[in-house]
């Protein structure tokens, strides 16, 4: 890792997508600085996955920021509502799901923006995806473009022209199978990732929530075995 390489902040959730986004940032020659959040998640094991992914990728700095989204309520990922299980493709593509967290990516990207300015870079990677679209408005390209435009008016470094902000979304147009094939070719250790919204006490995925179903379908279409299930 060279000092000459450009730094980038990479949002890292511990899931499959952000692990792939991290590998793509490295492939593109960036020095990644990983950023994760504890946000009243019911599952601190997400953070443990993010830490494993960052370590396996040789990330030089990984910060975990505590944020209290739970204080505002409004989602089954932070509240005690049940995570929906066994939904059909049709149900999954219909509207915005219960697992939606208000303004989540906006808050995450805002922190990434703050850290990137302090690091002296404007490059931020986020593993959002609009193909296997689960109905989250803040995963769409038009949202990310609007955030980028706002960010370029928000910070000293962007306004003064030293660090224009670019929000990189390398996965936005890929199917889940394409993401997995891409990550596989880059050597991503998917065994370290966790996608499940509701893992068991043994940390194994439930296999039935939307995220588990999308992941299983993606590995099947990519013709690969999910190493997290071995």
d(CA 77, CA 82): 9
Residue 70 binds its own copies, judged by CB under 8 A: no
The residue from 65, 172, 186, 208 that contacts its own copies (CB under 8 A) is 65
Task: By CB under 8 A, name the one of 3, 90, 142, 202 that touches its own copies.
Answer: 142
**Residue 14, annotated as binding a ligand:** yes
CB of 131 to its own copies, least distance (A): 18
Site string for its own copies, 97-136 (x = CB under 8 A): ---xxxxxxxx--xx-xxx-xx------------------
Round to whole Å and give the CA distance between 13 and 19: 8
State whether the Cα torsion 54-121-68-63 is positive or negative: positive
The interface region with its own copies, picked from 61-69, 124-132, 171-179, 213-221 by CB under 8 A, is 61-69
Q: Return the CA Rg of the chain.
A: 17
> What's the burial of 111, exposed, middle or buried (CB within 10 Å: 0-12/13-18/19+)?
middle
* Contact yes or no for 104/69 (Cβ under 8 A): yes
139 is in an annotated binding site: no
Q: Is 20 annotated as a binding residue?
A: yes
Least separation in angstroms between CB 211 and its own copies: 18
CB contact at 8 A, 47 and 162:
no
Residue 83 per-residue DSSP state: P
Binding site for its own copies (CB under 8 A): 63, 65-69, 71-74, 96, 100-107, 110-111, 113-115, 117-118, 137-138, 140, 142-143, 146-147, 149-151, 153-156, 158-160
């Amino acid at each position: 890792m060279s000092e000459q390489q450009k730094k980038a902040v990479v949002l890292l959730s511990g899931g499959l997508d952000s692990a792939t986004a991290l590998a793509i940032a490295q492939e593109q020659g960036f020095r990644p600085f990983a950023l994760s959040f504890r946000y009243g998640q019911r599952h601190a094991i997400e953070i443990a996955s993010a830490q494993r992914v960052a370590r396996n990728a040789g990330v030089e700095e990984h910060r975990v920021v505590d944020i209290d989204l739970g204080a505002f309520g409004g989602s089954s990922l932070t509240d005690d509502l049940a995570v929906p299980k066994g939904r059909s493709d049709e149900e999954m593509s219909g509207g915005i799901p219960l697992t939606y967290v208000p303004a989540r990516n906006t808050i995450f990207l805002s922190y990434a923006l703050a850290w990137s300015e302090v690091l002296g870079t404007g490059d931020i990677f986020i593993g959002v995806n609009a193909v296997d679209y689960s109905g989250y408005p803040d995963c769409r390209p038009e949202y990310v473009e609007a955030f980028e435009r706002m960010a370029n008016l928000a910070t000293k470094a962007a306004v003064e022209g030293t660090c224009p902000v670019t929000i990189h979304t390398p996965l936005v147009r890929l199917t889940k199978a394409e993401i997995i094939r891409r990550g596989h070719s880059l050597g991503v250790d998917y065994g370290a990732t966790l996608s499940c919204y509701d893992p068991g006490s043994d940390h194994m995925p439930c296999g039935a929530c939307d995220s588990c179903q999308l992941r299983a379908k993606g590995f099947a279409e990519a013709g690969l075995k999910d190493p997290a299930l071995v």
